[in-house]
Amino acid sequence: MAAPLVLVVLAAVTVRAALYRSSLAVFIAERVEVASPLNAWKRVVEGLALLDLGVSPYSGAIFHETPLIIYLFHFLIEYAELVFMITDVLTAVALYLAIQDFNKVVFKKQKLLIELDKYAPDVAELIQTPMEMHYIPLKVAVFYLLNPYTVMSCVAKSTCAINNSVIAFFILATIKGSAFLSAVFLALATYQSLYPLTLFAPALLYLLQRQFIPIKLKSKSFWLYTMQYASLYLCSLVVIICLSFFLLNSWDFIPSVYGFILSVPDLTPNIGLFWYFFAEMFEHFSLFFVCVFQVNVFFYTIPLAIKLKEHPVFFMFVQLAIISIFKSYPTVGDVALYMAFLPVWSHLYRFLRNIFILSCVLIFCSFLFPVLWHLWIYAGSANSNFYYAITLTFNIGQILLISDYFYAFLRREYYLTHGLHLTRQDGTEAMLVLK
């Protein structure tokens, strides 16, 4: 499988290199959908220039990157394009290896459940075969590398690519089963942008499953492992934050990075839901609503953990999607990361109800974003409501996509244990409905 992957990587690198040399690079770098105040390349350059002038880059409200990014780009700023291309390639390779391993795990588990007779007799068509699963890792790599969102994100040199890369490595480490590495990468991801904190739950569930520790609240081994993992995670986080202190000998970066993410002061339009709401809100209520909006991201973790405790990787996918939709400054790079996972659930296709409409909605909205931006800002014949409408539609499309996959997943699980042809008590055919 190495050769097709190499080919895909080469194709992706060519596309990106071609776009870097074209005039589109400047245009894409300016787009608000691709570059948010958190990860725009312009701001990285500005921060480093400020540092060269002897001023702390966190002194203004321009630079919101972590000190490790400062360190990384201090030496690599002339090779920025290469760095971002390599990051994308690394992410794709990490996802490829992770899904390869995951497929093995799925297959093993499936075999075990078949031998234990846990499946109903007539579900043969629902079982995943190695044949169809063979190409999934390659498809995942392709979906990530050749996704227009990723390409645009890379051409704009948005540090979202680095975020995605760290999360991909975290997923790889988790699926390989190494709790230590997984905790380290999760700490890095959380340090970078606060929201991957919610990925702690799926990773923990996956590692517990792998260690064959049953997830019961009273079980001692469960709590022991949880404590171990949590302490690894927290220690690495603390170590990384303390290390960042020593870069500039100040704690300035904490309000600039985390304070900025949490309090959302910058209301530049993006594809998220925060900006419009807070632009028109009274000062009086903004604290309350900031809290509500931020809690919204973290809120779904516990219910999903309860429902999906047997399927932690799907949980991780849904959680990633929720982060990309509800985070304070989303960009299309975040969307591209969870979309890369869609081939893994391609066996759910027969249960997806609205996939055509949703894909149309997402594609149309992606095209309408620049159109309505132009109409609003340059032509002056539209206003912010138009752009917000498209943002809303795009996010609704994403939410419906995730809930559709969720529904399809649960339905398949139900069919696997209860058989494909469901009958009611009186013998007539029954329909499965998600309540």
Q: Which pair of tokens denotes residue 280?
A: 């028109």
Q: Which of 2, 23, 220, 246 binds another protein (CB under 8 A)?
A: 246
Q: Identify which of residues 81 and 413 has a Cβ nearer to another protein in the complex.
A: 81
Site for another protein in 82-121 (CB under 8 A): none
Q: Which of 114, 247, 254, 362 binds another protein (CB under 8 A)?
A: 247
Residue 33 near residue 270, CB atoms below 8 Å: yes
Q: Identify which of residues 70 and 271 has a Cβ nearer to another protein in the complex.
A: 70
Q: If binding means CB under 8 A, how many residues of this protein chain bind another protein?
A: 17
Q: Which pair of tokens denotes residue 325?
A: 């939709």
- Give yes or no for residue 180 binding another protein (CB under 8 A): yes
Give the count of beta carbons closer than 10 Å to the beta carbon of residue 29.
17
Q: Site mask, another protein, residues 42-81, x = CB under 8 A?
A: ---------xxxx-------------x-xx--x-------
- Give yes or no for residue 287 binding another protein (CB under 8 A): no
Q: Bin 212: left if φ > 0, else alpha if -120 < ψ < 50, else beta.
A: left
Residue 79 CB, shortest distance to another protein, in Å, is 13
Q: Identify which of residues 246 and 349 has a Cβ nearer to another protein in the complex.
A: 246
- Give yes or no for residue 243 binding another protein (CB under 8 A): yes
Residue 362 near residue 401, CB atoms below 8 Å: yes
Q: Site mask, another protein, residues 3-42, x = CB under 8 A?
A: ----------------------------------------
Q: Site mask, another protein, residues 203-242, x = CB under 8 A?
A: ------------------------------------x---
Q: Which pair of tokens denotes residue 15?
A: 């596309």
Q: For residue 322, which of 301, 345, 343 has the smallest C-alpha distance?
A: 301
Residue 106 CB, shortest distance to another protein, in Å, is 24
Residue with tokens 């809930």: 403
Residue 41 CB, shortest distance to another protein, in Å, is 18
Q: Identify which of residues 55 and 61 has a Cβ nearer to another protein in the complex.
A: 55
Q: For residue 329, which of 285, 392, 258, 266 has the smallest C-alpha distance?
A: 266
Q: Which of 29, 105, 177, 178 binds another protein (CB under 8 A)?
A: 178
Residue 57 CB, shortest distance to another protein, in Å, is 10
Q: For residue 240, which of 163, 170, 187 has the smallest C-alpha distance?
A: 187
Give the count of beta carbons closer than 10 Å to the beta carbon of residue 195.
24
| Angle of helix 2-21 versus helix 136-145 axis, rounded to 10 | 10
Residues 144 and 141: their CA atoms lie apart, in Å, by 5
Residue 63 CB, shortest distance to another protein, in Å, is 14
Q: Identify which of residues 170 and 407 has a Cβ nearer to another protein in the complex.
A: 170
* CA dihedral (308, 312, 318, 320) positive or negative: positive
Q: Identify which of residues 169 and 341 has a Cβ nearer to another protein in the complex.
A: 169
CA 421 to chain CA centroid, Å, is 36
Part of the chain binding another protein (CB under 8 A), chosen from 137-145, 178-186, 219-227, 366-374? 178-186
DSSP per-residue string spanning 353-397: SSHHHHHHHHHHHHHHHHHHHIIIIII-SS-HHHHHHHHHHHHHH
Q: Identify which of residues 184 and 372 has a Cβ nearer to another protein in the complex.
A: 184
Residue 254 CB, shortest distance to another protein, in Å, is 17
Residues 123 and 109: their CA atoms lie apart, in Å, by 16
Q: Which residues bind another protein (CB under 8 A)?
A: 51-54, 68, 70-71, 74, 178, 180-181, 184, 239, 243, 246-247, 249
